Amino acid sequence: MAPPKATAFFTPLNIAVLTVSDTRTETTDSSGDLLADSLTAANHKLSERAIVKDDIYKIREIISRWIADDDTQAVLITGGTGFSGRDNTPEAIKPLFDKEIVGYGELFRQLSYEQIGTSTIQSRTVAGLANGTIIFVMPGSNNACKTAWEGMIKEQLDSRHAPCNFVPQLKKV
């Protein structure tokens, strides 16, 4: 199968944002705000937004619903990627993937190393495809979300990005 090709036309995507946190609320969710603002500034549509406690099954419940939804093409998840006992996002998400995007975590840590040095090894970022929905998981800090969005995600969700992007792999709405 030939790799996906870039197009001359922008395809706006329906993107959901999930914040995983035991402490954040709608008024204090600055990383969720950053992602929502970034995707709408890039002319995508914020299809849904939620905050969930860092619990494997509560995370899976929301993400599974979005994966099954015919209109959700991408999901951005912030939070729950560290090493504390309450950081469960990678464990919750990875079993849902049809295909894991291994290079996402590798590139995130490379970009992050320039900003935070060796502390980046504690960034358990993951990404994958599930039922035509692309899912990107990133740490909960605003800086980490900005690094992931600007350094990779924005281009990979832009149908015009060459030589390839993920848009042809996503559900058609």
- Residue 125: other Cβ atoms inside 10 A: 24
Q: What average pLDDT does range 118-133 have in this prediction?
A: 94
By DSSP bridging, strand 14-20 and strand 45-52 are: parallel
Q: How confident is the model at residue 85 (pLDDT cuts 50, 70, 90)?
A: confident
Decide: helix, strand or coil at residue 47: strand
User: What domain range includes position 155?
Assistant: 14-169
- Residue 36: other Cβ atoms inside 10 A: 19
Say if 21 falls within a structural domain. Answer: yes
The CATH number of residue 94's host domain is 3.40.980.10
Provide the mean pLDDT of the chain: 94
Say if 8 falls within a structural domain. Answer: no
In the chain, how many domains are there? 1
CA dihedral sign of residues 91, 88, 168, 67: positive
Say if 6 falls within a structural domain. Answer: no
Say if 55 falls within a structural domain. Answer: yes
Residue 52 has phi, psi (to 5 degrees) of -135, 145
The per-residue pLDDT for 144 is: 95
Buried b (16+ CB within 10 A) or exposed e, 137-165: bbbbbeebbbbbbeebbbebbbbeeeeeb
- In the chain, what is the straight-line distance between the N-terminal and C-terminal CA atoms, in Å? 23
By DSSP bridging, strand 99-100 and strand 127-130 are: antiparallel
The per-residue pLDDT for 4 is: 55
Q: How confident is the model at residue 90 (pLDDT cuts 50, 70, 90)?
A: very high
In order, the DSSP letters of 80-122 are: --SSSTT--HHHHHGGG-SEE-HHHHHHHHHHHHHHHGGGGGG
